[in-house]
Amino acid sequence: GQSLEQPSEVTAVEGAIVQINCTYQTSGFYGLSWYQQHDGGAPTFLSYNALDGLEETGRFSSFLSRSDSYGYLLLQELQMKDSASYFCAVINQAGTALIFGKGTTLSVSS
Amino acid sequence: DSGVTQTPKHLITATGQRVTLRCSPRSGDLSVYWYQQSLDQGLQFLIQYYNGEERAKGNILERFSAQQFPDLHSELNLSSLELGDSALYFCASSPRQGDGYTFGSGTRLTVV
């Protein structure tokens, strides 16, 4: 099966940089995805890493190390609106559906 | 509007009852996925359909079932409801299996 571990909570102040880590165990690795979910809202896609290295999209970056079964989401120049839950996810063994971690709640204060 | 439509948005029902949640995927997407999110819990994968066929099952209870129709919309049926079934139920669709998810806004089910 698949399992993912990520911290349950992270706090930071506006303008800061925060890193949300994710370690995973899976057979047949296809890539690591990140989703953002504001309270009660629909999860939205942030990034996807299939290969090792850093992918940058604006203020958000995502990193993957397949040899370490580890990835992280880096959020820079934090804003209040970044307060949300962030989920890492891997594709299931059948290669058909995403399995999500329990999520990290990010609280940004002024 | 994400393009994935879920109805109803809210549902309150009593224990022991049966409900049906509906999902219309984004135009052109063949895969539909159902997830359950309980309070302070992550997104638990329930079941996936691709072009009308069941493709993968996750932690779906035997009291729950789903199907995808020829027009690609999907329904999740929850029966013999228990208090613990209260949760947000999300549907997602994608053009490919396992990638490029677009989520609907969810159905909030409250069992009383």
Indicate the range of A57-61, A66-70, B2-6, B92-96 predicted with least confidence: B92-96
For the cut 90, the answer to whether the pLDDT of residue B45 exceeds it is yes
Distance CA B19, CA B107 (A): 11
- Pairing between strand B10-13 and B31-37? unpaired
Does the beta-carbon distance from B42 to A43 stay under 8 Å?
Answer: no
Rounded Cα distance between B66 and B45, Å, is 13
Q: How far is A61 from chain B (nearest CA, A)?
A: 18
Instruction: Give the closest-approach CA distance of A48 to chain B in angstroms.
Output: 9
Q: Do A45 and B41 touch (CB under 8 A)?
A: no
| Chain B residues touching A33 at Cβ < 8 A | 99
Element (H, E) at A100: strand A98-100
Segment B27-49 shows an average pLDDT of 91
Whole-angstrom distance, CA of residue B47 vs CA of residue A105 = 26
Do the Cβ atoms of B33 and A101 come within 8 Å?
A: no
B35 touching chain A per CB within 8 A: yes
SS (H, E, C) chain B: CCCCEEECCEEEECCCCCEEEEEECCCCCCEEEEEEECCCCCCEEEEEEECCEEEEECCCCCCEEEEECCCCCEEEEECCCCHHHCEEEEEEEECECCECCEECCCEEEEEC
**Lookup: tokens for A67:** 């040899």
B contact test, residue of A8, A45, A48 with most B CBs within 10 A: A45
* B45/A97 touch (CB, cutoff 8 Å), yes or no: yes
Give me the pLDDT at residue A96, please: 81
Q: Are A24 and A4 within 8 A, CB to CB?
A: yes
Task: For residue B47, give the chain A residue with the closest CA.
Answer: A97
d(Cα A107, Cα A96) in Å, to the nearest integer?
32
pLDDT score at B98: 67
Interface check for B25 against chain A (CB to CB < 8 A): the answer is: no
- The CA distance from A20 to A9, in Å, is 9
Q: Å from B39 to nearest chain A CA?
A: 10
**Residue B57 predicted with pLDDT over 70:** yes
The pLDDT-based confidence of A97 (bands split at 50, 70, 90) is: confident
Residue A15 neighbours by CB under 8 Å, 6+ apart = A77, A78
Q: Considering chain B, what percentage of its residues have pLDDT values greater than 70?
A: 98
Encode pLDDT of B95-108 as tens digits: 877 678 999 999 99
Q: Provide the 3-class DSSP secondary structure of residue A37.
A: strand
pLDDT > 70: what percent of chain A?
A: 100
B 49-108 residues inside an 8 A Cβ radius of A: 50, 55-56, 58, 88, 90, 92, 97-106, 108
Are the CB atoms for A108 and A23 separated by under 8 Å? no
Mutate to test the interface with B, among A92, A93, A102 (most CBs of B within 10 A): A92
CA distance A81 to B91: 24
- List of residues 6+ apart from A80 with CB closer than 8 A: A14, A108, A110
